[in-house]
Amino acid sequence: MAAPNAPLHLAIALDGAGWHPAAWREPAARSAELTTARYWIDLVREAARGFVDFVTIEDSLSLQSSTNNELDNRTDQVRGRLDAVLIAARVAPVTTHVGLVPSVVVTHTEPFHTSKAVATLDYVSTGRAGVRVRVSGQAHEARHFGRRTLPPIRLEDSADPDIERLIAELLEEAGDYVEVVRRLWDSWEDDAEIRDVATGRFVDRDKLHYINFEGRFFSVRGPSITPRPPQGQPVVTALGHDSATYKLIARSTDVGYVTPRDADHARAIVSEIRGEQALAGRTGQQLHIFGDLVVFLDAGEGAAAQRKARLDDLAGTEFSSDATVFVGTPGELADLLLAWQRAGLSGFRLRPGAIPHDLEAITRALVPELQQRVALRHAYEANSLRGLLGLPRPANRYAAAS
């Protein structure tokens, strides 16, 4: 459980023009620049202005949709996006300190590819890389690859035994995926590269290791083609909404994002994840649990509600989300964050409702409010993402064996 007086960890979830589907229609929105490098560089630099631990970058295997299980063919909302890992790699050389955590869909893709892409990002960013693993259970996404067929999964069918088994299988596959990625990151020992011109030895082959992973979903020999990342293990994160996904968070990640309704719900979620962490044999290992919120922030009383109502009118429907939607002032949000911290959360991932307005409200209004309450850092105290999160650099699992 997070210490009540410990500084908060803060992350910002970046997605296009913001999380509200009508955000791109705001006068200040840069909708014509969503697929430019400059746009993403500016967003990440703004996040770093608020001394946040990291940003996440959304991604998926299909076009954005207003429904959970199929494409909607709408033309009045943002559709299309860049690859999140490649955005992070472009942003990394021109930013400092702030962590970069792109989303990667681990269903239909290969762990070998992800391991070397995120390891490369860790080098490009000099130790600021992470990854958010996502599971895809959508039939239309499976059809992009042709390797398997999936039935339509609707929220109302979640109690169906066949759907429960399918979801459990997808999450088990995700757990194996993360395990393979982590082993590949360790497949080079830290001092495997010799680079000795005099003897002509560039690498010590005895310090490269086959991982020989054999599981239900993957058979990967290794080693990686990329040396061990600067952090040893880049930070692995995932979003969870229920007991099945809490198990994945507890067993496989360094940071889990959860979506509590209130402080009591947050306390129950934290307790469940800590229980699963113990069952997984990870007691004593640091696992951050972040609360996710979509935020609409304005200084004036009622101003944020009026702005959200205007966006809702443009969208033709009231905005809702899998996460709690906060509408109010920076001071009110600071009150909520500190109350939920006392329930056991160690940090928060905030989703700006509209960019740039709500992103800047986080960095220029909420952050000073939290700093005034001695709840947030005033400067970056570490150069790596693991350092910012207080996570130790892990030992290489194969080094001791060799």
d(CA 13, CA 9): 13
d(CA 273, CA 324): 19
Flag whether pLDDT at 370 surpasses 60: yes
pLDDT in the model for residue 210? 97
Q: Which residue has the tokens 């290992």?
A: 285
The average pLDDT across 376-401 equals: 94
Residue type, position 246, single letter = Y
Flag whether pLDDT at 77 surpasses 90: no
Local confidence band at 4 (pLDDT 50, 70, 90 cut-offs)? low
Q: Which residue has the tokens 């991982």?
A: 211
- Distances in whole angstroms, Cα of residue 358 to Cα of each of 28, 104, 297: 11, 25, 6
Flag whether pLDDT at 2 surpasses 70: no
Least confident of 54-63, 149-158, 168-177, 239-248: 149-158
Handedness of CA 44, 46, 49, 53 (dihedral sign): negative
pLDDT in the model for residue 107? 94
Q: How far is CA 242 from the centre of its chain?
A: 17
pLDDT in the model for residue 402? 54
- Mean residue pLDDT of the chain comes to 94
- Strands, DSSP E only, in 75-143? 99-105, 130-134
Task: Write down the domain spans for the chain.
Answer: 9-137+225-388
Percent of the chain with pLDDT strictly greater than 70: 97
The average pLDDT across 104-128 equals: 97
Flag whether pLDDT at 400 surpasses 90: no
Flag whether pLDDT at 135 surpasses 80: yes
pLDDT in the model for residue 163? 85
pLDDT in the model for residue 216? 95
d(CA 391, CA 237): 13
Flag whether pLDDT at 197 surpasses 60: yes
d(CA 359, CA 351): 8
Alpha helices in 186-262 (DSSP H): 243-252
| Spatial contact of 136 and 61, defined as CB atoms under 8 Å apart | yes
| Residue whose C-alpha is closest to residue 276's, from 254, 248, 301, 257 | 248
The average pLDDT across 168-196 equals: 96
Structure confidence by residue, pLDDT tens digits, 47-69: 999 999 999 999 998 888 877 76
CATH architecture of 9-137+225-388: Alpha-Beta Barrel (3.20)
Flag whether pLDDT at 274 surpasses 70: yes
- Distances in whole angstroms, Cα of residue 183 to Cα of each of 127, 238, 398: 18, 18, 9
Flag whether pLDDT at 71 surpasses 90: no
Using CB atoms within 10 Å of the CB of residue 340, give its burial: 0 to 12 exposed, 13 to 18 middle, 19+ buried: buried
pLDDT in the model for residue 91? 98
The average pLDDT across 137-154 equals: 81
Handedness of CA 384, 389, 391, 396 (dihedral sign): negative
Flag whether pLDDT at 84 surpasses 90: yes
